[in-house]
Every structure is written in C-alpha cells, then in structure tokens.
C-alpha cells in the first residue's frame, strides 16, 4: 500500500518486466463494483504508459494544501488548458507528482503572489480547490492517458458527457518562457484524445 508515485512506478515496471499486462491501482477503502471502476479503481497497462508521448503545457489555476512532508506548501495543483476562442482556461487534471524537494520548498513563494479570494472569471472547472490562482504560471506535464471526467472541463462542449482529464500526470518543469495564452489548447488536447 502506497501513495508515492515513485513506488507505484517501480511496482508497475517490475510487474511488466515479469510479463504482466499492467497493474490495478485502487483506493484501498473503496468497494468493488462489478463493471465499474471510475476514479477509485484504475487499470494502468503498459500500452497506456507508451500511448502519450506528448507533453502538455498547462496553466496553474488552483491548489490543494499538502500534508506530511508537504505540510506548509501545496500538495497538488489544479491545472488547465487554454481556449483562444473564448480566452478561458479549462481544467484537465491536478498534479502532485514529479516535484523535487526544492520545487516544493519554492511553491508557496512562487504561487502566493497569484492567490485569489475566489475562482478567476476565466477559469472553468468542476473542482473546488482550497486556493485559487490567477492563471499565469505554466508547467510542463507528462501523463499516461486521456480520459473523460465528470469534474474537469477541457473539451466538455465537444464531448457532451464530461471533460477531458489527464491520468497519472507528472510535473516535468516550469515553463517560464511561455505565457498562459501559449499553453496547450482545448483543441490540441481534444485532437489527441480523438486519435487515441
């Protein structure tokens, strides 16, 4: 039992090296429901790990406080894609993996200058983070696959059944060279989903 992404990745890599198709990642407290996994039971297969080779430049729009080692900073960040047609930012995942200790130590200072009392008028999401941010900061993120989510808003108007979400997102680096309007767009993420 673990919540550490590095341990999950090591277990997954070991399982696939031994010939397994992949692993089932689940919330230990969630009951089994036949034919339904949702977000509490996630099948992670080797082909998912190889499926998304692109990375995404996503805009930070919200944050959730951390616990344990991450106490005093943010444990995960709500991020979004950009839609140049209406100027809005549509959530597509929350990112908590991939941050080094140095990244975590710098998060509060980096983000607190962007804090808002309420959701920015250009942000669309079904999530309610503990802190909202002005959509300015861009991060590069990798992920295992794209899926439809009832919570996230990316491409919701096109799908009609939820928005697109990145599964197993991992922070790679800050994109200080990109403005928030140069982030991955709704159209780009939707086209990638359609090709998968």
> In order along the chain (196 residues), what is the average pLDDT of each group of 10 residues?
71 68 71 57 57 80 87 90 98 94 88 96 97 97 91 94 92 94 96 85
Q: What is the pLDDT, as a whole number, of residue 84?
A: 97
Query: For residue 89, what are its two tokens?
Result: 């930012």
Strand partners, 55: none
Q: What is the pLDDT, as a whole number, of residue 25?
A: 74
Q: What is the pLDDT, as a whole number, of residue 115?
A: 97
Model pTM?
0.75
Q: What is the pLDDT, as a whole number, of residue 44?
A: 63
Strand partners, 33: 36
Q: Which residues are CB-contacts of 167 (< 8 A; sequence separation ≥ 6)?
A: 42, 48, 93, 143, 144, 145, 146, 147
Q: What is the pLDDT, as a whole number, of residue 92?
A: 98
Strand partners, 112: none
């Amino acid at each position: 039992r673990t919540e550490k992404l590095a341990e999950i990745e090591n277990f997954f890599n070991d399982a696939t090296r031994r010939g397994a198709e992949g692993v089932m990642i689940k919330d230990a407290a969630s009951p089994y429901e036949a034919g339904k996994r949702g977000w509490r039971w996630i099948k992670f297969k080797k082909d998912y790990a190889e499926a998304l080779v692109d990375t995404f430049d996503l805009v930070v729009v919200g944050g959730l406080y951390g616990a344990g080692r991450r106490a005093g900073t943010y444990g995960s960040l709500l991020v979004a894609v950009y839609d140049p047609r209406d100027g809005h930012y549509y959530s597509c995942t929350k990112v908590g993996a991939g941050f080094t200790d140095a990244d975590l130590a710098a998060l509060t200072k980096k983000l607190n200058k962007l804090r808002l009392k309420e959701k920015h008028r250009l942000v669309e999401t079904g999530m309610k983070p503990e802190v909202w941010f002005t959509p300015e900061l861009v991060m590069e993120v990798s992920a295992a696959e794209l899926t439809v989510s009832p919570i996230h808003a990316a491409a919701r108007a096109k799908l009609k059944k939820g928005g697109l979400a990145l599964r197993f997102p991992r922070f790679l680096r800050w994109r200080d060279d990109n403005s928030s309007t140069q982030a991955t767009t709704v159209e780009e993420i939707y086209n990638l989903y359609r090709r998968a």
